[in-house]
Amino acid sequence: MKTNLALAFNYREAVSYKSAPISTSTRRKETSSSKEISRLVAAAVVNKGFCDLLLSNPTMAVLQGFHGEEFRLSEDERKLVLSIKAETLSDFAMQLVNQQNEIR
């Protein structure tokens, strides 16, 4: 579990990294985007059942939400999450970060 928790912190740092100045509206969009994706990954970190569901059936995981809370992902975020094929949460997070970096 300690490894997964460290991964979540590393993921958060990677997502919040800014390589160039950006406008306030872009920053707000990235922040809200990062927040929802961070919530999704955090749910997988703290709950093995949700993690297993995210890895085996990401569509269901996104639709189902976590403990009564939905994930308010944009269409692009949803497509990004659903495009990932991973066997471990570490691999999922790595692919997520790599794909987000390609988009930026």
More confident residue, 4 or 17: 4
Question: What is residue 33's predicted lDDT score, i.e. its pLDDT?
Answer: 57
More confident residue, 92 or 28: 92
What's the pTM? 0.68
pLDDT digits (tens, 9 = 90+) for 31-84: 455 799 999 999 999 999 999 999 999 999 999 999 999 999 999 999 999 999
Residue 86 has pLDDT above 70, yes or no: yes
Domain residue limits, the chain: 2-15+24-103
pLDDT over 90 at 87, yes or no? yes
Tokens of 34: 């990062």
Which pLDDT score, from 0 to 100, does residue 103 have? 77
